Amino acid sequence: MAYIYKEPSRTFSEYLLVPGYSSVECSPANVSLQCPLVKFERGEEAAIKMNIPLTSAIMQSVSDDKMAVALAKEGGVSFIYCSQSIEEQALMVARVKSYKAGFVTSDSNAAPTSTLRDVLELKEKTGHSTVAVTSDGSPTGKLLGLITSRDYRVSRMSGDESVATFMTPLEKLVTAPASTTLSEANDIIWDNKLNTLPILDDTGRLLYMVFRKDYDSHKENPTELLDAQKKYVVGAGVNTRDYAERIPALVEAGADVLCIDSSEGYTEWQKLVLAWVRDTYGDTVKIGAGNVVDAEGFRFLADCGADFVKVGIGGGSICITREQKGIGRGQATAVIEVAKARDEYYEQTGVYVPICSDGGIVHDYHFALALAMGADFLMLGRYFARFDESPSNRVSVGGAYMKEYWGEGSARARNWQRYDLGGAGKLTFEEGVDSYVPYAGSLKDNLELTLGKVRSTMCNCGAITVPELQKKARITLVSSTSIVEGGAHDVVLKENTLNK
């Protein structure tokens, strides 16, 4: 007969954290949420670390380039969805890498013969209001001038005017040579009250642009996650079908880290992908794998060379894998077992392979519970789908604003590769739903509140780092009665009486 676990699999809502001793050092301002994203050896540091332990899910309705920029500003990483063409996904990655680079290659360029209408169309396409006018209209042509929104008035112009007639010409611009450092460039911008500083080579050709807004953005987002070139860190999903074509394109576009997007990771398909990556790139390309729900699955992927392992099957709010196939495990139980396996693997091999808790997060306090149970970081779909920065539409439903949110296993996503076991190239049945989530506003405002709760909880446990939380946390099971006790009870809420 089948092996039967003696203990039930449990969810985060079945546990509470028991507070520990808090010293005066334990204040939210002192809490660090930094965590490793990829594996590292004992005595070393991870090649990529995050400033907050959050990633956004590899989903059409969650992670595009806009979400990637917004989350990187806060210190996390988005994994841009792979259920699209290779070209489109690579373009999204490239847009994130070029969005913030200190020295930015201009992506809005015009020739002197271009018209105002061309400039307006370019602005609509790129979203950028500063246009470089170069001799040949290329990003590296000889700079002739700049155009900003202050150089024209659409209401008083026909649109046929050539840019040469209204641009700010080169002789009126402040520029800097190629030898200028980023610090020096920012000083020039500040001293001359500029918004944009063109960087030119010895022949007058445009090399880069440095923008005041990038400096201001850094000051407003002190935890932003940047690579060595001061570009935002971004991840991308891959599948087990076209990886040999998709991965090179994503690497070329600048993806910092990849992740195999699959509902179940304990398979030879993932072993083949990881082997191909190591044979092709060695350890220079970072790639996570999953999903698994037990120690055996974790060790399999760790031995195959995964840089991190995702944990969770069937726990997502739009996932119906458990309903459809009876496959999965309670998220809390899965995280606890895999975290123990990760620690044992580290003791035996000296290699620390981070684990990502993917799914099962319903309330903000679940963040702290998942971390305390051993997760190095979390992957979230529903949470991020509610925000302005997600790619789905905002719609009015019953008088309330909602955001569309659909699973990768739904007919809408048509992401059969994620659930493929070597069969036909189509979804044979759905493992996800098409739904709505309440619209919640901006990512920054909501994330600030959520992480504020996490930091406060950590302080209650006497911890100011995630590893310290995992060492000190004490967790207790709760009964159904104590769950009721944990919320407002035996009172009449004023909001309920006022709404009648």
Q: Which long-range contacts (CB under 8 A, 24 or more apart) does 2-7 make?
A: 7/333
Hey, what amino acid is at 102? G
Annotation marks residue 153 as catalytic: no
CB 87 within 8 A of CB 75: no
- Which listed residue (246, 329, 418, 455) is catalytic? 418
> Can you say whether the dihedral through the CA atoms of 457, 463, 464, 467 is positive or negative?
negative
Name the phi and psi angles at 115, rounded to 5: -110, 170
Say which residues have a Cβ less than 8 Å from residue 98's Cβ, sequence separation at least 6. 104, 105, 107, 231
Cα–Cα separations (whole angstroms), residue 456 to 125, 135, 461, 470 = 43, 57, 9, 15
CB 12 within 8 A of CB 371: no
Closest by CA position to 7, among listed 310, 314, 319, 334 = 334
- At what angle are helices 86-99 and 65-74 packed, to 10 degrees? 40
Structure tokens at 255: 């993806």
Give the C-alpha separation, 473 to 199, whole Å. Answer: 52
* SS3 call for 94: helix
Say which residues have a Cβ less than 8 Å from residue 354's Cβ, sequence separation at least 6. 35, 36, 37, 38, 39, 46, 307, 308, 309, 342, 376, 377
CB 229 within 8 A of CB 256: no
Structure tokens at 212: 């005041």
Closest by CA position to 17, among listed 448, 355, 364, 353 = 364
Annotation marks residue 418 as catalytic: yes
- Which listed residue (319, 356, 459, 461) is catalytic? 319
Give the C-alpha separation, 371 to 88, whole Å. Answer: 34
Closest by CA position to 242, among listed 460, 391, 87 = 87
Mind telling me the catalytic residues? 319, 418
